[in-house]
Amino acid sequence: MNVDAALLEIVLLSLRVSGFALLISVLLGIPAGLLLGLRRFPGRRLVVALIYTGMAFPPVVIGLFVYLLLSRNGLLGSHSLPFVPALFTPQAMILAQIILAFPLVAGFTMAAVAGVDPALRVQVRALGASNRQATLAVLEEAKGGVIAAVVAGFGGIISEVGAVMIVGGNIEGRTRVLTTAIVLETGKGNFTLAIALSLVLLGLAFAANFAIVRLQGRSFDA
């Protein structure tokens, strides 16, 4: 395999792993953030504390946790369940990145929703809106913070190396992504290729974040 083909394979795998992880994290994290930001229920403080703790979790710790969970003697690895990914596969990397991104998306969404004036929800309900419509109105008002939540989640996983290195193994042609390839080439002293990979990673991060902002109908223009 030539260098261009290998680089394309690494880029596509990076986008696939981080893209799926972000999608699942957003689908789970935004509703969780809405619930925590708008509702009061027994145990909420504990859940919020866990979310904030997850936001500060070192990626290598998450990688170790997933590795132990999926290993042959682990809680999930010891059972032949169809939905449990195997170690050293893209699916295991996706699981690790979901655990990394979910608290970021949920935490920032919760903060954005909690920052909306409570009177908005009361006013919308007084005008005859349903509970769902009132929640959507709050979400619309907090859209800027929700965008930040998505961007934070994506930034946390696209640049992450420790967790995917542990659960993916950095196997050429199977689980090697941009971040792990950069670490490998730097260790080999191949700084030219490492810098090139870094520039590709930065370009992808910028393009994805810009696309997220544009899709939400916003821009960085004043």
pTM of the prediction? 0.88
Please give the structure tokens belonging to residue 211.
Answer: 């696309």
Q: What is the pLDDT of residue 218?
A: 54
- Report DSSP state, residue 181: H
Residue with structure tokens 């709050």? 138
Q: What is the pLDDT of residue 61?
A: 92
Q: What is the pLDDT of residue 3?
A: 61
Instruction: Note whether 95 and 129 are within 8 A (CB).
Output: no
Percent of the chain with pLDDT over 90: 45
3-state secondary structure of 123: helix
Q: What is the pLDDT of residue 181?
A: 92
Q: How far is CA 20 from the centre of its chain?
A: 9
Residue among 201, 107, 103, 213 at smallest CA distance from 160:
201
Rg of the chain on CA atoms, in Å: 20
pLDDT surpassing 50 at residue 220? no
Please give the structure tokens belonging to residue 8.
Answer: 């394309």
Summarize pLDDT for 73-84 with one digit per residue, the tens: 777 766 666 677
pLDDT surpassing 80 at residue 89? yes
Residue among 25, 175, 11 at smallest CA distance from 95:
25
Least confident residue range of 44-58, 64-78, 138-152: 64-78
Alpha carbons 170 and 88: distance in angstroms, whole number: 8
Instruction: Note whether 167 and 66 are within 8 A (CB).
Output: yes
pLDDT surpassing 80 at residue 193? yes
Helix and strand numbers, DSSP H then E, in the chain: 10, 0
The residue-averaged pLDDT of 13-23 equals 93
Please give the structure tokens belonging to residue 177.
Answer: 């992504």
List the CATH code of the domain at 3-180. Answer: 1.10.3720.10
Q: What is the pLDDT of residue 101?
A: 95
Work out the mean pLDDT of the chain and round it to a whole number.
86
Residue type, 34: L
